[in-house]
A and B are shown apart, each in its own frame.
Chain A
Amino acid sequence: MATLLAFPLLAILVVFQSAIVSQVNLLHGSADLILLVLLAWALQPKVNNAIVWAVMGGLLLNIVTALPIGIPLIGYLLATGIALSLRNRVWQVPFLAMLVATILGTLITLGFSWSVLTLSGISLPLSISFFQVLLPSTLLNLLFALPAYVVMSDLASWLFPRELEI
């Protein structure tokens, strides 16, 4: 059920991201709702298909972005891996884990995109990329991190209801 839900939910998020969120910029950075949803999903205790969600999110994003094929996918897989490792270590404080995962996930996905684009010959000055794109994007992602976590937590509770002891 959770895997079936991934496709429509992530597809809607990709549309929302492209149509609206990408146009709301802080300097030249923007929030990444798909990344936030993937991280929040990976941090839910009972979720065991976070990697599948990451693959689906990466593939769907590749449809609308001009980034080379596979870059969003690898970026999301790395970020999800970080979130999964955080879930096992700081599970007592999920909000803190979400914030840490958001910072690391944003750095990883954007850093990876930047590296690949730079290697492919596109001029992206490091300082401008860091101060005008990476930092503002991280800030925007942190702003949306907790709402995303709450929504995905509710979704996880609905999909994986707590078992009653009789």
Chain B
Amino acid sequence: MNSGSFRSLQSVVITLVVVGLLLLALSGFLSPIFNLTLSPFISLQAWFAERYQALNSFLTAPRDVARLSQENEQLKSENARLQAQILDQQRQIGEVQVLTALLDFASANPQNEYLAATVIGRDPSPFLHYVIINRGSEDGLRRGMPVVTDQGLVGKIAAVTANAARVQLITDPGILVNVVINPAKAEGVLSGSLTGDISLDLIPQDVAIQTGDLVLTSGLGGNYMPDILVGQVTGVRKRDYDLFQQASVQPVVDFNNLSIVLVITNFQPIDFSPLIPPPETGGQ
């Protein structure tokens, strides 16, 4: 056999082997062999890839930290802004709730005309219980007008300027309010105190009053309109040798959290002073 025919035979054999292998591969018969052969290579490639990724992340980490830090700052800033927004909205919700309650109160008492005012300050003297509101004579306020909330009586306007007014609270030690106690229909006089507690005096001895009775303005004296809720009796002091009974009262208004009040603008206090006869001078 010459070399030429041997090469031809070799080529044919190689071609047949290749074609055979291809056919075997395409038909799937060589898959186990491929898997077995490729598995170490895949493992090796995975090992290299992991090391490369680790190295890559190590080299690029500083830039990521800077970017993340920047993002973190942005998020913090946004978080602070959103929290401020939430606080503002909570405040607004609180105001809306108060105003809604006041509106309900005003709707339930259509005979009165109300003007809402915000409490902007308190009297600097610790002996006095006054608040300052942001409405004044330009808004139609006058001295003596009653001030209420949806809960009950707050006090009366003691002084007015153009854009502000000073309200004497019913807890002030210098205030006196004529009241009626329900259901006994007994009259009494309510007074404030230095500590902010309010109490009733001049209640007739023959009237039975109990803890829980309601205290409302009586309208006597003309300084307040009748039937404004003031508080509830929390204790009664009745002694046989006293001329009158006394009682302590829990006010319905929370004076520590007074923010918005209503001024009853269609009520003018009655001035009785012209009706009081002047004192007669001696010897005439």
Contact = CB atoms under 8 A, between A and B. Distances in A.
Interface string A115-141: 001000111110011001100010000
Interface in B119-162: 120-128, 130, 132, 158-159
B195 A66 contact: no
Q: What are the 4 A-B residue pairs with the smallest beta carbon separation, nearest first?
A: A18-B121, A22-B122, A122-B174, A66-B130
A113 B124 CA distance: 12
Given A18-B121, A34-B124, 4 more contacts: A18-B122, A122-B173, A124-B194, A133-B126
A12 interface: no
Nearest to B159: A66
Given A17-B124, A124-B173, A66 B193 contact: no
A66 B125 contact: yes
A66 B168 contact: yes
B126 A19 contact: no
A9 B251 CA distance: 38
B269 interface: no
B196 interface: yes
A66 B158 contact: yes
Interface of B: 120-128, 130, 132, 158-159, 166, 168, 173-174, 191, 193-196
Contacts of B124: 14, 17-18, 21-22, 30, 32, 34, 61, 64-65
B121 A28 contact: no
Residue of B121, B123, B127, B173 contacting most chain A CB atoms (<10 Å): B127
A19 B121 contact: yes
Interface of A: 14-15, 17-19, 21-23, 25, 28-30, 32, 34, 61, 64-67, 110, 113-114, 117, 121-125, 128-129, 132-133, 137
Contacts of B126: 22, 25, 28-30, 110, 133, 137
B188 to A, nearest CB: 16
B194 A65 contact: no
Contact of B125 (A21, A65, A123): A65
B260 to A, nearest CB: 15
Contact of B195 (A22, A23, A28, A122): A28
Contacts of B166: 64, 66
10 contacts: A23-B122, A28-B195, A64-B121, A64-B124, A65-B130, A66-B166, A67-B125, A113-B127, A117-B128, A124-B173
B194 A133 contact: yes
Contacts of A121: 174
Contact of A66 (B128, B191, B194): B128
B132 A128 contact: no
Contacts of A34: 124
Nearest to A132: B195
A125 B128 contact: no
Contacts of B122: 18, 22-23
A62 B50 CA distance: 80
A64 B173 contact: no
A64 B123 contact: yes
Contact of A18 (B132, B173, B193, B194): B132
A115 B272 CA distance: 30
A65 B195 contact: no
Contact of A124 (B127, B158, B159): B127
Contacts of A128: 194-195
Contacts of B196: 28
Contact of B121 (A22, A29, A132): A22
A129 B194 contact: yes
Contacts of B159: 66
